[in-house]
Amino acid sequence: MVGYLRVYYQRVFSAILVVAIVFIVYWNDLAIVANEALQNEAFSHFLLIPFFVGFLFYLKRDMVKGILEAENYRKKIKTEYLDELVGLIVCLVAFLIYWYGSYTFYPLEYHLLTLPIFVTGVTLILFNLKVLKALILPILFLLFLIPPPTEFIYTIGGAMANFNTAASYSILKTFGLPVTLSSSYGPPTIELATSSPEPVPFSIGLPCSGIYSFMAFSMFAAFLAFVAATPLIKKVWMFITGFIVFEIMNIIRITAIVSIAHWLGEEVAMVMFHAVAGLMLIFVGMLITLFVADKFLKIQTFPAQHQQVPCLECKTNQASSESFCVHCGRFLNAFRTKISQRFWMKLSLLLLGCTVIMLSIHTPTFAIAQDPVGISSGWENATNVFPSNIVDTQGLNHTLRFLYRDRYFEGLAHQDASLMYAYFPPSTQPSTLIYVDVGVASSIASLHSWEVCLITWRTSQGLYSAVTIVDSRDIQLLEDVSLIARYLVFESPENYTQVTLYWYEKAMFNTGITVEQKYVRISLIILTRESTNYQQFEEKLLIFGREIASYWKPLKNQSLVSLGVPAQQLLLGLSIVSVVSTKAVQYSVDSRKKNNNLKIFKNFAPDKEKAMLETIRDLAKDKRVVETSEIYAAIEKSKGNSVKFDELSDALMRLEEYGFMKRDVISVKNKPKLVWRIHI
């Protein structure tokens, strides 16, 4: 290992710097994702993504080496800077989307969406388009870092829970177990009759629905699809097979838990079996999927290392330190390209530029409170988390009071605290009461949005929506902080309208024993019977919201560069147009140059080269790419006499200069092979 690092230390160091560039831009977002993976079962599969991505990049190592070696031939002809320009524009597009996302209610999703875009731009700047094509699948795999929308999780999870519960109930009834199915309210429930007067309920909620296993399997299936060397239709069938397997396994798991409770008791079923059933489901399900893919679909998931058969000229070319065999195109695995000063300069500029940009625009994913919040005397007495008094639009001074702590909801939603406060107006003045709902949790996923609680969760259980949405939009609370709140108005069937303004923050909480950073959801609520005149409360909520947000003293952005959302959208549009127009201009220039060269070639080229080009064109009609040995054989056959190989190589070089053909590197089971691609 030490010897390897001594020889390849520059390449290892450059790889570390490339990863450092990504972390400079995305360290805050990646830290949030890592926290969610450790704190929330739904996102635990995120921990596998770095290993999957690293393995996919490792598989493409020979392709990248082969492409960089092949570029040495073309650099002798022409040095192009177009890829660097396009890469720079793509990085700008990523920054603009990142910046714009910071001024929405879903900043984390926007930020992580730009990660593969940014890596694409960096790849173009440091290397070229051909390397990007070789690495595009590992780069696209980074999209799995985006947390699935909560609405999607609840909708799909609810449908799976209903189906799995009904199937398990049918199996249990077939075997004569005393069960009934109930879904009148909440998640579907299998009730098991026992010797006690009340039946034992088994509610199939979101964790038991199989949605978490399905998300982990989807990522695993995508990884297998990238790795497996098989047609696309077989990869689709592998995914469908895996989904069916996991559904069957989850039905068996639910059936087994209820059966064990019937024969051995509820405590044995829930404590001993239920705790390990989820891990068993994922492990066994993946093994069955791999078995079916291997035996029935004939998919070689991890193909054996492919070695191209050497030709008679391979040894000669390898002895002369060639990277490729010029006869058969086989990669000789002689990666001798040194890292150029130009590469180090581009890498240094990227490091410097990304650092300056991130320090300039200051777009944290969540607003962060400057000072720790003290709760040493308990959550019930923590009235210091909000201003004690706030004056509304009518000049009335509202006083803060603590109402209650909802411990039941804390356990249900996995929150550290769920508190309800209220700002009371003076007793002598009639005014609207403003409630303040506070949720504190280690995971942002535990602080569900109001839309999820009121609509998505109920519809996922097959129930009607509890409310009717009247108004819903984003509002920026503070001018110098990217703190975006959600304004939501809905009508309840109980003949009242709720006007809500809520947002998320991060803060340090000092409990007297420890100081921990937590996520916070703050909701300001007004309940009114005036359903047609709710707009009058918007300004009042904004005043209270801005007072509370300022009281928490969020870290100021202090951006050196300040652009409004319309300006960001305009720049984003111009950047995308620039990428498209740049590639269009390049294609037009190359096409015009090739056509002009073809006219000159037809008029002035020797008959021998004209005949050679015609032979190559005929050969290319049946094949997309051709090897040098195939061209050599076709020319000898067409001419009826022998031709010198060195003479052919020189002629092919001239045809490449004219733009009629181009040396290219293709992947043969992740191994590079040098071929010719015909452009006329």
The pLDDT tens digits for 133-168 are 999 999 999 999 998 877 777 778 777 888 888 899
- Look at residue 524 and tell me whether its pLDDT is greater than 90: yes
List pLDDT tens digits, range 81-117.
Answer: 788 888 888 898 898 888 888 888 888 999 999 999 9
Distance of alpha carbon 354 from alpha carbon 350, whole angstroms: 6
481 close to 367: Cβ distance less than 8 angstroms:
yes
Confidence of residue 76 (pLDDT cuts 50, 70, 90): very low
pLDDT in tens, 59-69: 888 888 888 88
Three-class SS of residue 602?
helix
Question: Largest alpha-carbon pair distance within the chain?
Answer: 112
C-alpha to C-alpha distance for 190 and 526, rounded to whole angstroms: 39
Q: How does pLDDT run across 623-674, given as a tens digit for each residue?
A: 778 888 888 888 888 765 567 777 888 888 888 888 888 888 888 878 888 8
**Residue among 638, 637, 568, 575 nearest 101 (CA):** 568
Least confident of 238-252, 287-301, 586-600: 287-301
Tell me the whole-structure pTM to 2 decimals. Answer: 0.84
Cβ count within 10 A of residue 466? 15
Run of H or E residues at 468: strand 468-476
pLDDT interval class at 351 (50, 70, 90):
very high
How much is the average pLDDT of 567-584? 76
Tell me the three state secondary structure of residue 65.
helix
The neighbour count for residue 291, using CB atoms within 10 Å, is 11
Average pLDDT, the chain: 81
- What b-and-e string marks burial along 583-600, b requiring 16 or more CB atoms within 10 Å of the CB? eeeeeeeeeeeeeebbee
Q: What dihedral angle (degrees, nearest 10) is formed by the CA atoms of 185, 186, 187, 190?
A: -40
Per-residue pLDDT at 77:
45
Query: b/e string for 612-641 if b means 16 or more Cβ within 10 A?
Result: bbebbeebbeeeebbbbbbbbebbeeeeee
Per-residue pLDDT averaged across 502-508, rounded?
88
DSSP state of 287: H
Strands (E), 529-670: 625-626, 661-668
- Report the 3 state secondary structure along 103-132: CCCCHHHHHHHHHHHHHHHHHHHHCCHHHH
Q: Which two tokens stand for residue 272?
A: 């001993």
Mean pLDDT for 40-47 is 80
Q: Write out the H or E segment, with its range, that includes residue 503.
A: strand 496-510
Q: Which residues contact 385 (CB under 8 A, 6 or more apart)?
A: 373, 375, 438
pLDDT at 562: 53
Segment of 373-377, 520-524, 666-670 carrying the highest mean pLDDT: 520-524
State yes or no: pLDDT of 336 exceeds 70. Answer: no
* Residue whose tokens read 């440091």: 126
Give residue 256's pLDDT. 86
Q: Which residue(s) pair with 676 in the sheet?
A: 626, 663
d(CA 93, CA 99): 10
**pLDDT tens figures, 310-331:** 787 787 777 676 778 878 888 8
pLDDT recorded at residue 126:
93
Helix locations, 454-563, DSSP H: 457-460, 538-551
What average pLDDT does this structure show over 328-351? 82
State whether residue 627 is helix, strand or coil: coil
Q: Helices in 296-363 by DSSP H: which ranges?
A: 314-319, 341-361
Supply the DSSP symbol for 429.
S
* Three-state SS at 328: coil
Question: How many whole angstroms separate alpha carbon 43 and alpha carbon 25?
Answer: 22
Mean pLDDT for the stretch of residues 536-550: 90
Report domain extents, the chain.
1-147+343-363+559-599, 150-295, 373-551
Question: Is the distance from CB of 497 to CB of 530 less than 8 angstroms?
Answer: yes
- Contact between 401 and 422 (Cβ < 8 Å): yes
609 vs 523 pLDDT, higher one: 523
* Cα-Cα end-to-end distance for the chain: 48
Name the percent of the chain lying above pLDDT 70: 84
Residue 125: name the closest of 79, 86, 168 by CA. Answer: 86
pLDDT score at 637: 80
Q: What is the pLDDT of residue 67?
A: 87
Average pLDDT over residues 527-548: 84
